[in-house]
Amino acid sequence: MRRVLAALAAALLCTSGGAAGSLPGVDQAVVDSDAMPAKLSAFGLFRGNYPAQPATGLGYTLRAPLFSDSTDKHRFISIPAGKKATVAADGVIEFPVGTVLVKSFGWADVNGGRPVETRLLIHRASGWVALPYIWDADGKDATLALGGRRVPVTFKSPDGEMHSIRYAVPNKNQCKECHSLNGAIVPIGPKARNFVPDPAASATLRALYFDNPAALKPTMPQWDDPKAGTVADRARAYLDVNCAHCHNPAGSASNSGLFLRWTDDPKGVNYGIGKRPTAAGRGSGGMDFAIAPGDPAHSFLIYRLESTDPGIAMPEVGRSTVHKEGAALLRQWIAEMPKDAH
């Protein structure tokens, strides 16, 4: 989180100039059309060649971000002039048609810090469209990869361990798998409880992008900061951002009966406590419960989080390594549960 904020502060110019609404240079006609340009530059979202700065816009990060193989993520929003996002009563951010959510993935020690990929989530009249772009070797542009791709990278995780993986850029269908709600593609990260505008952004700029910017209250605890909340609260925040986009009654894993939303009461079998496997297959590891109170070693939720086997690992897409710090937090949470928790 802190590293991403520092990178955003350096990468985005959110306090200077810039027209209201959509970013200077953004080709709104391309954004609004049904086009899927072969090159990212067609949208005009970046100023010149990357790693030059993005066009002036509202940068943001997430208080509790999704784990994606320890990547640094640089995020910003383009909203058309004259339109604004609103925050609904339930905290969902509703972005107007013409919005583009831009997220670049990379590592500080890979390719001089240049991103490996940039994903666009575009709100068109027909609904949200997800487009993944892989940056070319020279870093001057990125190429559309509807079929996804495996990119070999070697990087150092925050604990100092070196990893050599084939980083997975998702295909268009995999984007839909995670971003699906009642069968439609929707944003999953930006919610009022988890949304942190770039601290360099002025109140004026926030007001240009949001109808009610005061409603952006990041109340969800930062999972890796012991001062941000209890172990249980931080564990629930981690599960919400890493699992609940599928594990909710309207998500792609609704048939599992395992629902891990932050807003849910964390009790009962629907939250995994004392929940027996339904369609887990090998994913249960022969264990009886998703969460066995007081016994993380026999909780198959932990077993799946700590696996990289494609038939066992959860989440199913988005990572090729184990998030040791996140798993350790969840182990502590389960270990501290009373045996009779329900």
So what's the pLDDT on residue 18? Answer: 38
239 and 194 in a single domain? The answer is no
Read off the pLDDT band of 14 (50, 70, 90): very low
Q: What value does the mean pLDDT take over residues 253-275?
A: 82
Read off the pLDDT band of 254 (50, 70, 90): confident
302: pLDDT strictly greater than 90? yes
Q: What value does the mean pLDDT take over residues 93-102?
A: 94
When mean pLDDT is compared across 61-70, 112-121, 251-260, the lowest value belongs to: 251-260
191 and 238 in a single domain? The answer is no
- Give the model confidence (pLDDT) of 323-342 as tens digits: 999 999 999 999 999 877 66
107 and 26 in a single domain? The answer is yes
So what's the pLDDT on residue 200? Answer: 79
- Give the model confidence (pLDDT) of 98-149 as tens digits: 999 999 999 988 888 889 999 999 999 999 999 999 999 888 899 999 988 9
Which of residues 172, 195, 215 is at a domain's end? 215
So what's the pLDDT on residue 209? Answer: 87
Residue 290 belongs to a domain: yes
Q: Are 220 and 63 in contact (CB under 8 A)?
A: yes
Which tokens is 331 given? 């182990």
12 and 117 in a single domain? The answer is yes
How many separate helices (H) and strands (E) can be counted in the chain? 7, 13
23 and 169 in a single domain? The answer is yes
Residue 341 belongs to a domain: no
- Give the model confidence (pLDDT) of 193-233 as tens digits: 888 888 877 787 788 888 888 888 878 899 999 999 999 99
So what's the pLDDT on residue 204? Answer: 79
Which of residues 165, 188, 215 is at a domain's end? 215
179 and 232 in a single domain? The answer is no
So what's the pLDDT on residue 216? Answer: 83
Measured distance CA(31)–CA(7) in Å, rounded? 26
Residue-number span of the structural domain to which 197 is assigned: 2-215
14 and 163 in a single domain? The answer is yes
Residue 63 belongs to a domain: yes
Residue 51 belongs to a domain: yes
249 and 135 in a single domain? The answer is no
171 and 299 in a single domain? The answer is no
13: pLDDT strictly greater than 60? no
Find tokens 């799946």 and name the residue: 304
So what's the pLDDT on residue 280? Answer: 58
194 and 314 in a single domain? The answer is no
Which of residues 164, 195, 215 is at a domain's end? 215
Residue 54 belongs to a domain: yes
Q: Which ranges constitute the DSSP H helices of the chain?
A: 2-11, 28-32, 172-178, 203-209, 231-243, 300-305, 324-335
Residue 172 belongs to a domain: yes
191 and 235 in a single domain? The answer is no
Burial 35-57 (b: 16+ CB within 10 A, else e): eeeeebbebbbbeeebbeebbbb
236 and 198 in a single domain? The answer is no
Residue 33 belongs to a domain: yes
Measured distance CA(285)–CA(280) in Å, rounded? 9
So what's the pLDDT on residue 318? Answer: 81
Phi and psi angles of residue 229, each rounded to the nearest 5 degrees, phi first: 175, 180
Could you give the number of structural domains in the chain? Answer: 2
So what's the pLDDT on residue 97? Answer: 96
Residue 340 belongs to a domain: no
So what's the pLDDT on residue 245? Answer: 83
Q: What value does the mean pLDDT take over residues 263-286?
A: 78
> What Cα–Cα distance (Å) separates residue 36 from each residue in 41, 104, 125, 220, 252?
12, 18, 15, 35, 25
Average pLDDT, the chain: 83
